[in-house]
């Protein structure tokens, strides 16, 4: 029997305290442990470099998806849906987080998966999808995956809850708007100085959109810098651009305004995106990212992944090396899961997965 997660009042979103009317309108369920720690990175050659440890937000499975799923899965339950359908690469962290927390809440989960370069990390996630009873459908390319998500799957599963890649709906983005108000309380408590810059990965827009909107609403004079780790376009369609982030910021702000008259009027600004760390493509490790993995592990004993956080921290390393003022506070928002699930993955035989996924375990791994 899946384990039910029980709401813990001490974990209620800061947004609900500041804007009480939201508590009555927006559904939420506790999945993680917040606030997550902030700490100074002392060995990186910068006097004021900090990290927000969202990798430690759950002993089950951490990272940035937990904040989103607290709002999303509460909405699923509110709408009395019994299955969540979402999509991502064959090693998608979002897909794994969704599968794990759906399993814990007694919900079914379907993952539509497109190809990404095969690494040891990707293989582990594929095994874990099966471990947590997700239905796996290989849709090959990203375009075909999107078409399947929007048409045939909605015909096949008309009563399911359809969740966009990365959990980056306006409801999911609320998790990172709330995260900034959490950060502001830590600033006010003297745990961290107000950051001049906040670095985060830009993959499906939600994390960056929530942080950028949250800074505006919380009155933090911080520049959020998104490091693009996914394709900016799919044909003529914008996927991860300053425009798509701004659009999601607006939709999330409209959701807040529609549910609370207490939300102040703000002007949405176009966010700052760095494109030069993407490399060969989504999921392809880069030389700079691999160096970032080694540096942060050796100096601070903190792990990064090759797809998202290594590319982001590579940008942080370049920034602190190029930036003349080594006293301005810089915050790296760590979105990786640090819970070791390798033992659970090792208990799964890849032959138990649908046959179309066997090829990835017989394919040579891309070196990281």
CB 338 within 8 A of CB 309: no
Cα four-point dihedral sign 293, 295, 299, 300: negative
Check whether residue 270 and residue 134 sit in a common domain. Answer: no
Of all residues in the chain, what percent carry a pLDDT higher than 90?
A: 92
CB 362 within 8 A of CB 149: no
Bridge partners of residue 334, in order along the sequence: 53
In this structure, what CATH number is given to the domain that contains residue 157?
A: 3.40.50.1100
Check whether residue 201 and residue 328 sit in a common domain. Answer: yes
Q: What is the pLDDT of residue 323?
A: 79
* 62 Rama class: left (phi>0) / alpha (psi -120 to 50) / beta: beta
Last residue of a domain, one of 167, 199, 225: 167
Q: What is the pLDDT of residue 1?
A: 36
Check whether residue 300 and residue 174 sit in a common domain. Answer: yes
Check whether residue 74 and residue 56 sit in a common domain. Answer: no
287: closest CA among 276, 298, 297?
Answer: 276
Q: What is the pLDDT of residue 10?
A: 61
Check whether residue 306 and residue 189 sit in a common domain. Answer: yes
Q: Report whether pLDDT(9) > 80.
A: no
Strand 135-140's sheet: what is its strand order? Answer: 135-140, 108-114, 83-89, 161-162
Check whether residue 152 and residue 24 sit in a common domain. Answer: no
Check whether residue 207 and residue 306 sit in a common domain. Answer: yes
**Whole-angstrom Cα Rg for the chain:** 19
Check whether residue 192 and residue 277 sit in a common domain. Answer: yes
Residue 296 CA to residue 39 CA, distance in Å, equals 14
Q: Would 142 be classed as within a structural domain?
A: yes
Q: Which residue range is the domain that position 269 belongs to?
A: 9-64+170-334
Contacts of 237 (CB under 8 A, 6+ apart): none
Check whether residue 187 and residue 277 sit in a common domain. Answer: yes
Check whether residue 194 and residue 318 sit in a common domain. Answer: yes
Residue labelled with tokens 């440890």: 53
Question: Could you tell me the pTM of the whole model?
Answer: 0.95
Could you tell me the CA-to-CA distances from 77 to 39, 70, 188, 216, 273 in Å, in that order?
A: 35, 11, 35, 30, 35
Q: Report whether pLDDT(326) > 80.
A: no
Q: Would 368 be classed as within a structural domain?
A: no
Q: Would 360 be classed as within a structural domain?
A: no
pLDDT level of residue 367 (50, 70, 90 thresholds): confident
Residue pLDDT, tens place only, 267-301: 999 999 999 999 999 999 999 999 999 999 999 99
Residue 201 CA to residue 206 CA, distance in Å, equals 10
Q: Would 354 be classed as within a structural domain?
A: no
Question: Can you tell me the mean pLDDT for 113-122?
Answer: 96
Q: What is the pLDDT of residue 324?
A: 67
């Amino acid at each position: 029997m899946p384990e039910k997660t029980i709401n813990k009042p001490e974990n209620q979103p800061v947004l609900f305290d500041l804007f009480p009317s939201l508590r009555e309108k927006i559904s939420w369920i506790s999945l993680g442990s917040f606030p997550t720690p902030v700490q100074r990175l002392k060995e990186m050659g910068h006097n004021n470099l900090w990290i927000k440890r969202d990798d430690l937000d759950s002993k089950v499975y951490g990272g940035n998806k937990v904040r989103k799923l607290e709002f999303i899965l509460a909405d699923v339950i509110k709408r009395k849906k019994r299955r969540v359908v979402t999509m991502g690469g064959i090693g998608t962290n979002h897909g794994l987080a969704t599968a794990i927390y759906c399993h814990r809440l007694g919900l079914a989960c379907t993952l539509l998966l497109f190809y990404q370069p095969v690494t040891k990390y990707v293989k582990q996630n594929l095994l874990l999808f099966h471990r947590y009873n997700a239905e796996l459908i290989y849709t090959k390319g990203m375009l075909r995956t999107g078409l399947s998500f929007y048409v045939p799957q909605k015909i096949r599963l008309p009563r399911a809850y359809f969740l966009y890649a990365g959990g980056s709906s306006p409801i999911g983005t609320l998790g990172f708007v709330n995260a900034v108000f959490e950060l502001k309380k830590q600033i006010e408590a003297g745990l961290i100085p107000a950051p001049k810059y906040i670095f985060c990965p830009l993959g499906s827009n939600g994390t960056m959109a929530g942080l950028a909107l949250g800074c505006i609403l919380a009155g933090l004079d911080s520049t959020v810098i998104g490091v693009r780790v996914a394709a900016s376009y799919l044909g003529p369609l914008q996927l991860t651009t300053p425009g798509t982030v701004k659009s999601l910021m607006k939709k999330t702000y409209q959701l807040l305004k529609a549910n609370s008259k207490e939300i102040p009027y703000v002007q949405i600004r176009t966010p700052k995106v760095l494109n030069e760390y993407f490399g060969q493509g989504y999921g392809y490790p880069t030389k700079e990212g691999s160096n970032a993995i080694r540096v942060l592990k050796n100096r601070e004993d903190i792990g990064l992944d090759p797809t998202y956080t290594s590319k982001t921290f590579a940008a942080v390393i370049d920034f602190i090396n190029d930036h003349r003022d080594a006293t301005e506070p810089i915050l790296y928002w760590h979105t990786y899961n640090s819970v070791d699930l390798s033992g659970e993955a090792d208990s799964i035989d890849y032959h138990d997965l649908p046959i179309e996924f066997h090829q990835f375990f017989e394919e040579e791994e891309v070196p990281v």
